[in-house]
Structure 1
Amino acid sequence: MTEAELRLRPASSEARACKVCGAASPAFGTLDFNRSCEEARGRFLTLSGVAVQYRRCEACGLIFTDAFDDWGQADFEAHIYNDRYIDVDPEYAEARPLSLSRGLASMFAASADRLQVLDYGAGNGRMAQALRDHGFASVTTYDPFTPEFRTRPEGRFDLVTCFETVEHMPDPAAGVADLASFVADDGLLMIGTLLQPNDIERIGVAWWYIGPRNGHVTLFTHDALTRLLDRQGLRLVSQNANVHFGFRNTPPAFARHLFQSARIP
């Protein structure tokens, strides 16, 4: 396997513009294309011999690679989201969707029967099925990389969930804009993505969440994610390093109980 065969953009020592704020983003480190998040559990793929360069913004801290910027959907399906994807994300098919559905059912039990829900980047649709089992009356599934759920939905939704998806976006500004376009005026966006740790400069690309083979091409700081949502008129409140909410002005009534302890000016 070579860079040419994968159609990757070659590494460069020159700083590039940040994909969120436009500031200078020098090289941060390189990883083999087959580096996956499962290495944190001691599971390793055979090295591909192809290097993928990541950069880090000097202003908002975004970590990203432009190696895949020339790829289309067919490239991602051939080299990343293929029948071996389960090897690098074994929780993707069943464990994660079921866990997330239980969490959502706990959060929104009182309004599940009347919420219009969109699961954006939904993969195999398992979470939507589980949400219906938990009493959610209206759940729509959308994922451009899953043929069954590739049709773009119409309208806007009370609750838009987006778990383990934004880190897969090679164009985070366009991706988050598209995501936000589905959120109703009095709706709630819920994003699941792991933010960079405070000591990321020490850890570098050894951070386990940076995985080219997983398609993790954009890794956020709170600042970077805040900037993207702010452009779409959404305020960001993070529950923790992995769960983030976006809403306009104030939280919608069905979700207000989630923010009772949060300081929202």
Structure 2
Amino acid sequence: MWSFFRKKKEYDCPICAAKGELLDTVDLNKHCEVSKRGALPRSGVAIEYYLCSDCRFCWAPMMHAWSVDEFEEKIYNQDYVYVDPEYIESRPRTNSEMLIANVPHASSIRHLDYGGGNGMLSKLLNEAGWQSSSYDPMVDHDVSIESLGKFDFITSFEVFEHVPDVHRLISDLDQLIADNGIIIFSTITSDEFITPGKKLNWWYAAPRNGHISLFSQNALRRLGHSKNFQFTSFSPALHVFFKSVPEWASHMIKIV
């Protein structure tokens, strides 16, 4: 009788536990390549994005609750390359060139590409003389991180926005990084693009790409602090977590 009085859904922020408020709803087929390839047909599946009232983390609770099988069926399937054509080779090659140019004496550094997908970045780095391994929670289901050991340098390019469990993410990174190691990762921060009470029109908010976790600078800082990481950014898209800066990275990271 009273079913039309629907109880408003409430979610606590996965990072700081403050209340999340419904920001907007977008179709599951919204993707990042709309300006280049056009929109996909609407799926009819509504994806709600919530915004934390404190740290401004923005996330899609429904997709955060999906299983690995659901992600593989609905997102990371044979059609994924249409919405992210650079992930197979172009992005790994660009990132490898950037790393090789900026990290001297890499042959003595143990490196892990976290969320490395098909392992292309590690393959290119190993060809250049690095000691690089790749690990992806969505791909390497049977690999325990305990078996991987510790790494001097971890990269994680275009991964954070895909992660449904931010606590597992930061715990994994904390377990895998050596005491004086650094973690360089890319994700575009949302500060200039997401505003409470306004439509979520940002191109990066794209569920068909698996972009279900959108971080403000404050959200990244607080996520890192939960494991005692210091945090700084090279740009709005490139960031670093560290506890101390090793000598080999001192030219890249200046502690203020």
Settle same-fold status: TM greater than 0.5: yes
**Is the contact made by 2:191 and 2:217 (CA closer than 8 Å) also made in structure 1?**
no
Provide the rounded CA distance (Å) in 2 between the counterparts of 1:40 and 1:180: 37
Does residue 1:145 correspond to 2:138, yes or no? yes
Please name the residue that 2:26 is paired with: 31
Please name the residue that 1:119 is paired with: 113
Does residue 1:192 correspond to 2:186, yes or no? yes
RMSD: 1.8
Of 44, 47, 50, the match for 1:49: 44
Provide the rounded CA distance (Å) in 2 between the counterparts of 1:40 and 1:197: 22
TM-score by length of 1: 0.88
- 1:124 counterpart SS class: coil
- 2:62 counterpart SS class: coil
**Is the contact made by 1:166 and 1:176 (CA closer than 8 Å) also made in structure 2?**
no
Provide the rounded CA distance (Å) in 1 between the counterparts of 2:213 and 2:193: 18
**Structure 2 letter corresponding to 1:200:** I
- 1:199 deviates by 4.5
Q: 1:52 to 1:181 in 2, by over 3 A?
A: same
Please name the residue that 1:3 is paired with: none
Provide the rounded CA distance (Å) in 2 between the counterparts of 1:107 and 1:150: 33
**Is the contact made by 2:30 and 2:39 (CA closer than 8 Å) also made in structure 1?**
yes
Provide the rounded CA distance (Å) in 1 between the counterparts of 2:60 and 2:19: 13
- 1:113 counterpart SS class: helix
Does residue 1:17 correspond to 2:12, yes or no? yes
Of 224, 227, 231, the match for 1:229: 224
- 1:12 deviates by 7.3
**Is the contact made by 1:65 and 1:217 (CA closer than 8 Å) also made in structure 2?**
yes
Of 63, 70, 87, the match for 1:68: 63
- 1:106 deviates by 0.8
TM-score by length of 2: 0.91
**Is the contact made by 1:85 and 1:214 (CA closer than 8 Å) also made in structure 2?**
yes
Does residue 1:40 correspond to 2:35, yes or no? yes
Where does the alignment leave 5 or more consecutive residues of structure 1 unmatched?
1-10
- 1:135 counterpart SS class: coil
Provide the rounded CA distance (Å) in 1 between the counterparts of 2:7 and 2:53: 17
Q: 1:161 to 1:191 in 2, by over 3 A?
A: same
**Structure 2 letter corresponding to 1:84:** D
Provide the rounded CA distance (Å) in 2 between the counterparts of 1:37 and 1:97: 18
- 2:49 counterpart SS class: strand
Provide the rounded CA distance (Å) in 1 between the counterparts of 2:191 and 2:82: 25
Provide the rounded CA distance (Å) in 2 between the counterparts of 1:150 and 1:130: 24
- Percent pairwise identity: 34
Please name the residue that 1:168 is paired with: 162
Where does the alignment leave 5 or more consecutive residues of structure 2 unmatched?
1-5
Please name the residue that 2:3 is paired with: none
Name segments (4+ residues, structure 1) moved above 4 Å. Answer: none
Provide the rounded CA distance (Å) in 1 between the counterparts of 2:35 and 2:195: 19
Of 233, 246, 261, the match for 2:241: 246
Q: 1:30 to 1:237 in 2, by over 3 A?
A: same
Q: How many residues were matched structurally?
A: 248
- 1:39 deviates by 1.4
Q: 1:12 to 1:224 in 2, by over 3 A?
A: farther
- 1:251 deviates by 1.2
